[in-house]
Chains A and B, each alone.
Chain A
């Protein structure tokens, strides 16, 4: 292993260019990328989807897809030129010194082999056999702090949760004691709290291992917490580089400035203004770029920018920026004006009133209470944010509202004062069109065989009851209201980008003038710049049409931006419910507190972080007493294990389910400032 401070850099890319061959042409994906990672350093690579981040990672281990090729430059690992290695030496280098962890842990694990077998296999490759390999495998699982490693060894990958799978994938990556660890979006598929745990783990391992890390993520906050230095990639070029603190606090490239502005920060809310966006799109692969690659989207662009490609200017302190006007970068004008008309305070009677809603599934003959005794109410034009780890019942609750699944007998759902039938089939046409949904994944939500025109016309016909001329007129309005145009109508969904597809999905949900739209993670598949545009659109539609949202997201910054009320769910129960500001600013339930502190923050103000230990318990076998007691950092004693606390109103409209009195919670939580990123 390389000692920190030793001469050789862990990774050195010199003028690296990579192209993919598409339609008989080599298209440039990476253009003269220069990048150095020192021994023991953690380097973050950020940028929009498609900018070439994964291509960098794949080039380093020479795992490019068949049609990819390195067209220029060099790659040196530990001072050794990777391009000059023969097949055997390359295999050795991969086995001995580099490891990669991908976004989807499922891909790294063989579904048909037990975890123990897969881990010992790696050690057997290095010559350790039998019991010794078994012991090493177990030690490795201990190292990634998985609970009950001996039983994990016996299990198959599908019997582990996403977080546990990713820990195993990391254990496998660490097995060869690599000097270079490449992490490509290692936490993107995970829940916020699981993400925080895995990031903590990576941070701790870093100190133990002194491995160098290349950390790829589109989540700026995550990178800011993990990395010493960061590089911003745009259209296959490094456009800015520097220490993480400098780049995020004092960006010098308009692209970085714009990316940072897309995020709802510091508790920003929809009624305080719209998010900024980045107009336009990343140039496609292989595009010829005359001047600055960002010029088409940059409000600071001048003639010079279009004619003269900016070099990587050195700004001192190891800072680089590929912008002619790097000193003015932060004066980049907003692409989207922030101003909005002030909304009148809502006093209308509730549009939605849910009382005592339950849903019980049967799981191996045992009842599984996916949603237990949930009551919420929502006024027109308000957003209810649903927050909680995966398995907490958010999606089940949304599907109950929609009537896609039927609740247990007893509870009631009232829409504008009228009882909603539990089953969709027995709801009236008016009730059906009043409650609609925007799904997480537009590829699944839009029928790939139908044109956008067909999809939207059908919705207008069924939900809006329209036909003929009136339908066509309304179709035009609808398309315009989500800022699409006629030319988007003739195409099939796959011809649109993710953000455009999501606009179509939103238009479909709005076809019948809904009263309530469920948004189930509507932006989690999108880049931050596209996310900002979609959130703005949702906020605009809401202020114009007085529609209410049930908004589900694991990104608490996003939830906070859009929500007026928050319900925090844990194992199907509401732990806290109240006005968004009250829930976020506290005092709040210990679970809410833990969720909030798990959010990685851009400004790296690591306050006292509260961690949730272990996995979320099974809903089929919930803990006795307070269901959160097995993980609660503030547990007060036996009462938490024996008696389930009531949901108590602590302030008007704000309820908390905890044995700790509100005043006490206030005292306990006071010293910290609970601000989300």
Chain B
């Protein structure tokens, strides 16, 4: 045994260095895009959670006498045709969309990740068949799938979550698959085979942690689309149901009134949707940037 090649002469690991995740957090904390998006998103999350308690009026209480009053000091955003306070409705209206869209995205991520891991890992015929099916599936617009599903299952939040979740899953699966295809060529996967590890262990314990970054990026991007999809479905009457003060729903029941000059019944809900989508997209951009530089 050698005298100098002892453990003591080997260098200590570089623990002072930031870990890759620390690096990502650090770059997120310095990204204006991400912080702006996060600010907008957090604003709506707070509204969804606590808006109920701080809004000036009950968003559901009608007051026919004061119907359709334009924005003024006592009703900042005016009132709608039932005399309900638009400001209170916009604030509380974030609640359903911020439940349904994230849940749908999480479902899409879980299903898509599992599917992507399997087809990327096994490749071959499984991949060929499943990939074709997914491609065909992705060619159909979400709204059409949703309509068919809702006709079959009836409207409910659960249906909306399942429909949006499953129609986004293939997109996430595609992202995961291409990341897995690159990972499985690395030698640590061969090393796992040389320990007779099962496919499940190799996929979920060995490969999955290394493909988290692209999954996170894709998930935040999908969240933006999910918000948009939920709003669209609600607008069409297939999403969130009355009497919820949901934005899409409100726009759909009031947009006939723009012609009459009652713009405030629609504008603020539309702005709310836009701001939430923009906020999420800014977050997504920031996350993408943090993982890719």
Q: Does the CB pair A444–B10 fall under 8 Å?
A: no
User: Which of A187-195, A413-421, A432-440, A567-575 faces chain B?
Assistant: A432-440
Report the minimal beta-carbon distance from A133 to chain B, rounded to whole angstroms. 38
CB-based contact B197/A424 at 8 Å: no
Q: Is there a chain B Cβ closer than 8 Å to A277's Cβ?
A: yes
Q: Which residue of B lies closest to A402 (CB)?
A: B194
Residues of B1-48 at the interface with A, using a CB-CB cut-off of 8 Å, are 1-7, 9-15, 17, 19-20
- Known contacts A444-B186, A447-B210: does B195 contact A462 (CB below 8 Å)? yes
* Nearest residue, chain A, Cβ from B16: A495
The chain A residue with its CB closest to the CB of B186 is A444
**Contact of A336 with B4 at beta-carbon distance under 8 Å, contacts A444-B187, A449-B210 already known:** yes
Q: Which of A279, A335, A445, A495 contacts B15 (CB 8 A)?
A: A495
Q: Tell me whether B206 is interfacial, beta carbon within 8 Å.
A: yes
A640 close to chain B: CB less than 8 A = no
Q: Which residue of chain B is the closest to A540 with respect to CB atoms?
A: B1
Question: Does A491 make an interface contact (CB < 8 A)?
Answer: yes
A281 on the B face (CB < 8 A): yes
Which of B11, B188, B193, B194 lies in contact with A446, CB distance below 8 A? B188
Q: Which residue of B lies closest to A281 (CB)?
A: B11
Tell me the complex Cα distance, A566–B23, Å: 47
* A445 adjacent to B10 (CB under 8 Å): no
The answer to whether A485 touches B191, judged by C-beta atoms less than 8 angstroms apart, is no
Residue in A404, A432, A435, A490 whose CB lies within 8 Å of B190: A404
B225 → chain A, closest Cβ, in Å?
A: 28
| B206 contacts across to A, CB distance below 8 A | 447
A531-547 CB contacts (< 8 Å) to partner B: 533, 536-537, 540
Q: Which residues of B contact A536 (CB under 8 A)?
A: 2, 5
Beta-carbon contacts under 8 Å, B184-224 to A: 186-188, 190-191, 193-197, 206, 209-210
Interface presence of A92 (CB below 8 A): no
Interface string of A276-313 (1 = CB under 8 A from B): 01011100000000000000000000000000000000
Interface residues of A in 423-467 (CB under 8 A from B): 424-425, 429, 432-433, 435-437, 439, 441, 444-450, 458-459, 462-463
Per the bound structure, the CA–CA distance linking A449 and B209 in Å amounts to 6
In the complex, which of the residues B2, B5, B10, B187 contacts A485, with contact meaning CB atoms closer than 8 Å? B10
Size bracket, chain B contacts: 20 to 34
Name B10's contact: one of A432, A439, A449, A483 (CB within 8 Å): A483
Contact for B4 among A335, A436, A444, A496, CB less than 8 A: A335
CA of A540 to CA of B2, assembled, Å: 10
Chain A's closest residue to B196 (CB) is A432
Chain A residues with Cβ below 8 Å from B19 are: 492
On whether the beta carbons of B2 and A336 are closer than 8 Å, the reply is yes
Residue of B nearest to A439 (CB): B187
In the assembly, what is the distance between CA of A51 and CA of B10, in Å?
18
**B187 touching A432, Cβ below 8 Å:** no
Docked complex Cα distance between A497 and B2 (Å) = 20
Whether a CB of chain B sits under 8 angstroms from the CB of A261 is no
Q: Which of B256-283 contact A (CB under 8 A)?
A: none
A328 at the interface (CB under 8 A from B): no
Contact partners of B187 in chain A: CB under 8 A: 439, 441, 444-445
Q: Which A residues are in CB contact (< 8 Å) with B10?
A: 483-485, 488, 500
Chain B residues near A494 (CB, 8 Å)? Answer: 20
Which residues of the other chain, A, contact B1 by a CB distance below 8 angstroms? 540
Q: How many residues of A contact B (CB 8 A)?
A: 50
- From 52 to 79 in chain A, residues with beta carbon under 8 angstroms from any chain B beta carbon are none
Selected from B5, B188, B194, the residue in CB contact (under 8 A) with A277 is B5
- Of chain B, the residue at the smallest CB distance from A480 is B7
Contacts of A337 in B (CB 8 A): 2-3
Given A432-B194, A495-B13, A496-B13, do A484 and B7 touch, yes or no (CB 8 Å)?
yes
Cβ of A274 under 8 Å from chain B: yes
Minimum distance in angstroms from A629 CB to a CB of chain B: 36
Question: In the complex the two chains form, is B15's CB within 8 Å of A508's CB?
Answer: no
The interface residues of chain B lying within 8 Å CB-to-CB of A462 are 195-197
Please give me the residue from chain A that is nearest to B12 by CB atom: A487
The distance from the CB of B191 to the nearest CB of chain A, in whole angstroms, is 6
Known: A281-B11, A495-B14. A404 touches B2 (CB 8 A): no
Option from A424, A448, A488, A537 in Cβ contact (under 8 Å) with B193: A424
- Report the bound CA distance from A402 to B7 in whole Å: 31
In the bound assembly, the distance between CA atoms of A279 and B7 in angstroms comes to: 11
Chain B residues whose CB sits within 8 angstroms of the CB of A446 once the complex forms: 188
- Cross-chain contact B193 with A444 (CB below 8 angstroms): no
Q: How far is the CA of A335 from the CA of B5 in the complex (A)?
A: 8
Q: How far is the CB of B181 from chain A (nearest CB, A)?
A: 15
Q: Is the CB of A491 within 8 A of B2?
A: no
Please tell me if the beta carbons of A483 and B7 are within 8 angstroms of each other in the complex.
Answer: yes
B11 touches A500 (CB 8 A): yes
Known contacts A445-B191, A447-B206; decide if A279 and B13 are in contact (CB<8 Å). Answer: no
A458:B5 contact, CB within 8 angstroms: no
With both beta carbons as reference points, the residue of chain B lying nearest to A429 in the complex is identified as: B196
Chain A contacts of B6 at CB under 8 A? 483
A525 to chain B, nearest CB (A): 13
Among B19, B187, B206, the most chain A Cβ lie within 10 Å of the Cβ of: B187
Question: Which one of A450, A458, A484, A492 contacts B195 once the chains associate, using CB atoms below 8 Å?
Answer: A458
Q: How far is the CB of B158 from chain A (nearest CB, A)?
A: 34
With A281-B11, A485-B10 given, is the CB distance from A336 to B3 under 8 Å?
yes
Q: Which of B110-151 contact A (CB under 8 A)?
A: none
Structural contact, B11 and A533, CB atoms closer than 8 A: no
Using Cβ atoms and an 8 Å threshold, which residues of chain B touch A533?
A: 5
In the complex formed, the residue of B with least CB distance to A459 is B195
The one of A429, A448, A480 that contacts B210, using a Cβ cutoff of 8 Å: A448
- In the bound assembly, the distance between CA atoms of A480 and B1 in angstroms comes to 12
B4 lies within 8 A of A447 (CB): no
Q: B13 contacts which chain A residues (CB < 8 A)?
A: 487-488, 490-491, 495-496, 500
**B5: contacting residue among A336, A449, A480, CB under 8 A:** A336
* Chain B residues whose C-beta falls within 8 Å of the C-beta of A447 in the assembled complex: 188, 206, 209-210
Q: Which residues of B contact A496 (CB under 8 A)?
A: 13
Contacts of B196 in A (CB 8 A): 424-425, 429, 432, 462
Chain A min CB distance to B138 (Å): 28
Shortest CB distance A670–B (Å): 40
CB neighbours of B191 from chain A (8 A): 437, 439, 445, 508
**Are B7 and A485 neighbours in the complex by a CB distance under 8 Å?**
yes
Instruction: Give bound CA distance, A491 to B15, whole Å.
Output: 8
Q: Given A424-B193, A432-B194, A462-B197, verify A483-B17 contact (CB < 8 Å).
A: no
- What's the least CB distance linking B150 to chain A, in Å? 41
A439 surroundings in chain B (CB, below 8 A): 187, 190-191
Q: How far is the CB of A201 from chain B (nearest CB, A)?
A: 33
Q: Give Cα distance in the complex from A337 to B17, angstroms.
A: 35
In whole angstroms, how far apart are the Cα atoms of A490 and B27 in the complex? Answer: 25
Inter-chain pairs besides A402-B194, A458-B195, A480-B7, 5 sampled, C-beta below 8 Å: A336-B2, A424-B193, A462-B195, A488-B10, A540-B1
List of 6 A-B pairs having minimum Cβ-Cβ separation, nearest first: A449-B209, A336-B2, A462-B195, A445-B187, A279-B4, A485-B7
Can you spell out 25 A-B residue pairs with CB atoms less than 8 angstroms apart?
A: A277-B5, A279-B9, A280-B11, A335-B4, A336-B4, A336-B5, A432-B196, A437-B191, A439-B191, A444-B187, A447-B209, A447-B210, A450-B209, A459-B195, A462-B195, A462-B197, A484-B7, A488-B13, A491-B13, A495-B13, A496-B13, A500-B11, A508-B191, A536-B2, A540-B1
